[in-house]
Amino acid sequence: MIKQIQWSYLLMGMSFFTLLSCTDHKSGKNSEITVIDSSSQISITHKVTLPQAHIGDLEIDTMLLDSYTPLPQNIRNFYLEARDVFYENPNANFTNPLILESAQNNNLALMGGPLLGKLDKNGLTIWLRPSTSKSLEIKVNKSNSTEYKSYLKNSPEPGIEQRIEITGLAADTEYNYAIYTNENKIAGGSFKTPPDTEQKGIFRLTFGSDFHKIGLHNPNLINTILKRKPQAMMLLGDNAVDDRDNKVNMHRSDYLLRDISKPWIQLAANIPLYSCWDDHDYFNNDKAGIPEGFNTTDRDALREIWFQNWNNPNFEGSGIYFNTVIGPVEVIMLDSRSCRENSKRGEYGSYLGIEQLNWLIERLKKSKSPFKLISSGTMWSDYISNGKDSWGTWDTLAREEIFKLIESEKIPGVIFLSGDRHGARGFTIPRSTGFEFYEFEAGTLGGVPGPAGMAKDTTHQLFGYDGTEVIAFGEFTFDTKSKDTFVTFRLVDEFGKVLEELKLPYERLVP
């Protein structure tokens, strides 16, 4: 049971992460753009390639541990011992006694987390996976105050993920938090609540795709994301698990590899994350629906593992799709893998499944948020790979229905996001009405290869980088505070260089 304690006036007397200060500032196109001192760059020592990540054997996964800086010995021991248990036992999960014993022997109170999620104007949810049943206490204070609120979780079950709701906070406010067991601080971080949807303000959200395990261990990339202070981040697929088919034990092993990464821990502890999957964190390359040789039990197991290891808002349907309102933005993340109907490829409803498609249509009609970000694991437009494994060869009818709905109902503020085709790209999607949609893809977070950055026909392409040219992420800064509402898109590389910047006045997003 989670119990909330009233504000206390005690000094917290602890130091929180100070990740958010910058070392060097230069004026660019925009005064808030930061250029990082290149001396802060950390060199890669063990480069893991994409084909290696797909294999993910012991040697390759171990190489990722030290790809930039060596891991502390106790964390390494724990990972190797737990990975061995997962590898040997197809049904192993985090409650396995050998895994719990290893965590305790290596002095690890947490086997995963804190992972922030479900941010709203009054709080968020903290996900974590403890190794013991010791009670957890989370103290939360405003960053400019020593008063704190306390939230308790008594006797958590070891190895089972916990979700602790932090409620009763103020909108548009910076907070620090620290997690204790028996008065010992075991983790901490900071976050900022969004402005109320009605309230005028600035809200920054980051997004990207295709970590492919590799990028989760990149301190340059993750430090840069943290320094730019986004209030939330969307991960559009191929995140942590790579090509594990229906081997749920190895899905768990890959989540463990994520959760012991130091850069990942800092990202997850300081920025609320929202995620959807693409093919590689579902079954395997280009796999969708129920792939040949697998069954609905396999699919359900993968959905369950997904749910256990992320901290997304609750799903409303049978897939992993969801919507949530964060400040001025309604985030709609689609499940563009597990609801596909393979035997009906090309027919209406085959890509999202009828249930999800109808849900999306309803969400769009009902949304009151000024902005809507709609993510698809694969591309909305067909410019790069001619619809390969995406809307263009699966369901152009439903795509057209969605586009038409937005135009006919004059639904404002919609921006499309996508991943899958490794690279960072921006497009417009022209309509016969003269209106244009915008689609942005920001990758790859893992620096992995893919198709050419620019399409053969560049008429509707705003920019393009291939997957290995840059390691970059996307960023939206929504401004509802200025006289005229607008959003600025930026593409930022792992060292903080702003590669692309596009200011979109709100009128451009109104059909």
Q: Residue numbers of the site for Fe ion (CB under 5 A)?
A: 210, 238
Q: For residues 238 and 493, which CB has a smaller minimum distance to Fe ion in the complex? A: 238
210 or 439: CB nearest Fe ion: 210
Minimum distance of Fe ion from residue 303's CB (angstroms): 20
- To the nearest whole angstrom, how small is the minimum distance from the Cβ of residue 229 to Fe ion? 27
DSSP 200-216: --EEEEEEE---TTGGG
Cβ atoms of 137 and 124 closer than 8 Å: no
Find the shortest distance in angstroms from Cβ 274 to Fe ion.
Answer: 18
Query: Which strand ranges, in their side-by-side order, compose the sheet holding 202-208?
Result: 273-275, 232-235, 202-208, 472-479, 486-493, 498-505
CB nearer to Fe ion: pick between 113 and 446: 446
H helices within 140-240, ranges in order? 219-227
Residue 210 vs 341, nearer CB to Fe ion:
210
Tell the smallest beta-carbon distance from residue 459 to Fe ion (Å).
26
Least distance in angstroms from the C-beta of 209 to Fe ion: 7
Shortest spacing between CB 444 and Fe ion, in angstroms: 7
Tokens linked to 255: 């989540």
What stretches of 342-467 adopt beta strand conformation (E)?
371-376, 414-418, 423-430, 436-441, 461-466
Q: Which two tokens stand for residue 292?
A: 């040949």
**31/36 Cα distance (integer angstroms):** 14
CA atoms within 13 A on the CB side of 359: 20
CA angle 494, 467, 70 (to 5 degrees): 50
β pairing state of 472-479 and 202-208: antiparallel
Quote the least distance from Cβ 382 to Fe ion, whole Å.
18
CB-nearer residue toward Fe ion: 255 or 277? 277
Picking from 492, 448, 500, 497, the residue whose alpha carbon sits closest to that of residue 215 is 448
Pairing of strands 423-430, 273-275: unpaired
Shortest distance, position 238 Cβ to Fe ion, whole Å = 4
Give the contacts of 100 (CB within 8 A, at least 6 positions apart): 94, 131, 132, 158, 159
Q: 51 or 97, CB closer to Fe ion? A: 51
Q: What is d(CA 303, CA 195) in angstroms, rounded to the nearest whole number?
A: 32
Q: Which is nearer to Fe ion, 372 or 422 (CB)?
A: 422
| Nearest residue relative to Fe ion (C-beta) | 238
Q: Which residue, 79 or 211, has its beta carbon nearer to Fe ion?
A: 211
